[in-house]
Amino acid sequence: MIPFNKPCHTGFEELYIAQAISAKKLSGDGEFTKKCSRLLVEKTKSSSVLLTTSCSHALDMSAILLEIMPGDEVILPSFTFVSTANAFVLRGARIVFVDIRPDTMNINESLIEEAITPNTKVIVPVHYAGVACEMDTILAIARSHNLAVVEDAAQGVNSTYKGRSLGAIGDLGAYSFHETKNYVCGEGGAILVNRPDFVEKAEIIREKGTNRSRFFRGQIDKYTWVDLGSSYLPSELNAAYLFAQLERMELINNYRIKVWNKYFERFSALHGKGLVELPNVPAECTHNAHMFYIKVKDLETRTMLIEYLKKKEISAVFHYIPLHSSPAGIRFGRFHGEDRWTTKESDRLLRLPIYFGMTDVEQEMVIDAVNLFFA
């Protein structure tokens, strides 16, 4: 069986985990946590990068930092994971879904402004497949209406927009290190704090609402409860596993790009015949090969192809059910304007296996199977 995904493993994870155990510091914010944070700050140029227990919790922290209240509205695409919306719904916000661009599956920046009301507080662009949204336009809209921008860059670690790291462009950003991502620690994430005035408050929220971080830096002689917060610190064991991957970020990235490029080249004939559509990466974007997807004619064709690949012992999957059509999406949000592309494109999209360490033989089997299906 060729799996859809294999969690990344470089070979140094066990060594670093053993070092963390030997240091007798297993709770959060040990040396490996600090190493990961420093590396990510250097890479992204963000003011601060704090590891969290998940990307969901990074988004939760963002909603607390922005003081989202009941009655506030948050604009985001319907084609995304539930955590993007949940973080703000948990604070009482109403979600306003807008349509996507069919070329990138990202939020359609030209539809955002008309969805803004006096209650709008935040715009949440989601960088699908590690390909950037049109951030210049989104930031300009946000500035003109005094709105915050939170980047859901769960899939965007090591991708850029006009040379800037995804997650480090808006006011706040969120990364995922879940085992399905490019760089993993099982469960984990990070919040990128791009506004210096938010840095200390983010530390407080992450440390259960206390000023414990200032205490450990020797800035105060005792710490206490000062604000809202929760326990968002990952274990030092998770950080040790993650550091083994972040150290080798470019090695992992180059491997995935090679696999992605081979898929793109070998399916170009199917694309030329109009049998599939291939991913589009705008000129101003560099992507991280987080996923490789094709779009087929319709839902029926996709269902048949998934079953065909399953019989060939190849695991291929579709992605999100649009949130606005879900029970919770109907309850907690509304779709602004016409659903021209979100549902239609969601029904056509199929994700193929891609992972660090995927062999040429495995990839050839996938390519041959897809070509045979259409033949």
- pLDDT tens-digit map of 5-64: 999 999 999 999 999 999 998 998 999 999 999 999 999 999 999 999 999 999 999 999
Q: List Cα–Cα distances, 273 to 264, 269, 364, 366, in angstroms.
A: 14, 6, 20, 19
Q: Which residues contact 299 (CB under 8 A, 6 or more apart)?
A: 347, 348
Q: Which residues contact 28 (CB under 8 A, 6 or more apart)?
A: 51, 233, 234, 235, 236, 239
The answer to whether domain 13-246 has CATH 3.40.640.10 is yes
Q: List Cα–Cα distances, 251 to 132, 146, 231, in angstroms.
A: 22, 40, 33
Q: What is the CA radius of gyration of the chain?
A: 21
Residue pair 326/84 in contact (Cβ under 8 Å)? The answer is no
Tell me which fold the domain 250-374 belongs to.
Aspartate Aminotransferase, domain 1 (3.90.1150)
- pLDDT tens-digit map of 363-374: 999 999 999 999
Residue spans of the domains in the chain: they are 13-246, 250-374
Q: Which residues contact 360 (CB under 8 A, 6 or more apart)?
A: none
Statement: the pTM of the whole predicted model exceeds 0.85: yes
Q: Which residues contact 208 (CB under 8 A, 6 or more apart)?
A: 225, 229, 230, 231
pLDDT of residue 50: 98
CA gap 251, 232 in Å, rounded: 29
Pairing between strand 73-77 and 120-123? parallel
- pLDDT tens-digit map of 73-94: 999 999 999 999 999 999 999 9
Q: In 21-49, which positions are buried (b, 16+ CB within 10 angstroms) versus exposed (e)?
A: eeeeeeebbbbbbebbbebbbeebebbbb
Which secondary-structure segment (H or E) carries 304?
Answer: helix 299-311
pLDDT of residue 274: 97
Q: Classify residue 70 as exposed, middle or buried by CB count within 10 Å of its CB (0-12, 13-18, 19+).
A: exposed
Mean pLDDT of the chain: 97
- Residue entry with tokens 């090679």: 258
pLDDT < 70 regions, the chain = none
The single-letter code of the amino acid at 329 is G
- How is residue 88 written in tokens? 């703000």
